Amino acid sequence: MEATPAVEGPEVQVLSVVSSLADLNPEGLTEAERVSVVAALERLKGASAAGQARLTAAAVVDREALGEDSRSVRADLALARCCSPTLADQHAGVARALVHEMPMTMAALERGDISERRATIVVRETACLSLEHRAEVDRRLAPTIASLGDKALAAAARRAGAALDAESLSERNRRAVASRRVSVRPAADGMAWLSILGPMKDVIGAHLALTAEEGRRNVLDPDLPSGQWEVAAATARADVRGKGAWLADRALELLSGRAKGQPQPVEVGLVMTDRTLLPAAFGGQAPTDDVANIPGWAPMSGREARAAVADVLDAETGHGEAFAWLRRLFTDPTGRDLAACPGATRQPCRPIT
């Protein structure tokens, strides 16, 4: 008697698809064929997200049906998706809404007509609606959901929800005011984003006021004495900043309370090796890996870190308040392990260049 072959489980089937994709070779394909395969893979991504949603919703619902806390399974899902627990909770909420409340959007995701991002947009924009109204928005969006971009889809969902329940939209807007905040996050190349989330009218008003000031930046007062007028004209000609750069500089000046041209006081937490901190003690040459780290932000070159502090110390501001403060954190020669650090007391100091 021949043995019955074992039926492969879902995990093995999915992993076999993953393995087959590693053998996908673009050589020998025409440009049209390559584009078609890219489109097919995009549909596969949507279908995969739908599968994840079904499995996630089932895992959470089953745990809650047993009267148990679902936090442990959500933690497992976070590990499975290689994301934070907070993001895993968001995925779980979206999955439950798609599986149990929005069948049309779920069907579009299963077909690969939309991405997980767009499905999440629909869920987010209908979160304030009742189950009946959410289902109706789901039905209304179905004919066009695959042809709309992210912004257009969000706007369409909001319009449909407002048409069904304008009061819920107003209540959502009122609650959103309580979430106003200022946040900062690192950007590439030593830059950072400063964001203000606030009521639309206030944010737009602030932006318009700033833009109006930018429009007057090179307008000189005709009543200025000739000597001052020439100086002001020369300063205006020397200012070659673009509009965006000028707006950013002016906004930061206003927010920090600095006078025009006054440098920002700097406190730098530099994690560095002894060779980076004291290049003069090692033959006067900076090490090959002359890199300092700003904890919580990003690595930066040792030269750049020392120069940033030196610029502030050497600036002639006339205010007597611009100091560079350095907290020195020494690592071992590998740069991986912290070897020593000073106490809480900080002192103004000049970097070693």
Q: What is the pLDDT of residue 67?
A: 79
Going by pLDDT thresholds of 50, 70 and 90, the confidence category of residue 256 is: confident
Q: What is the pLDDT of residue 319?
A: 46
Q: Is the pTM of this model over 0.85?
A: no
Residue 337, pLDDT > 70, answer no
Residue 76, pLDDT > 60, answer yes
The stretch 182-199 carries a mean pLDDT of 88
Higher pLDDT, 190 or 32: 32
Going by pLDDT thresholds of 50, 70 and 90, the confidence category of residue 189 is: confident
Span of 60-69, 77-86, 201-210 with lowest mean pLDDT: 60-69
Residue 123, pLDDT > 90, answer yes
Tens digits of per-residue pLDDT, 275-298? 655 565 566 666 666 676 666 666
Q: What is the pLDDT of residue 194?
A: 92
Q: What is the pLDDT of residue 347?
A: 42
Higher pLDDT, 27 or 4: 27
Q: What is the pLDDT of residue 91?
A: 94
The stretch 118-123 carries a mean pLDDT of 96
Residue 318, pLDDT > 50, answer no
Residue 121, pLDDT > 90, answer yes
Going by pLDDT thresholds of 50, 70 and 90, the confidence category of residue 274 is: low
Using a pLDDT cut of 90, give the percent of the chain over it. Answer: 40
Q: Three-state SS across the chain?
A: CCCCCCCCCHHHHHHHHHHHHHCCCCCCCCHHHHHHHHHHHHHHHHHHHHHHHHHHHHHHHHHHHCCCCCHHHHHHHHHHHCCCHHHHHHHHHHHHHHHHCCHHHHHHHHHCCCCHHHHHHHHHHCCCCCHHHHHHHHHHHCCCCCCCCHHHHHHHHHHHHHHHCHHHHHHHHHHHHCCCEEEEEECCCCCEEEEEECCHHHHHHHHHHHHHHHHCCCCCCCCCCHHHHHHHHHHHHHCCCCHHHHHHHHHHHHHHCCCCCCCCCEEEEEEECHHHHCHHHHCCCCCCCCEEECCCCCEEEHHHHHHHHHHHHHCCCCCCCCCEEEEEEEECCCCCCEEECCCCCCCECCCCC
Tens digits of per-residue pLDDT, 15-68? 888 888 888 889 989 999 999 999 999 999 999 999 999 999 999 999 888 878
Residue 253, pLDDT > 50, answer yes
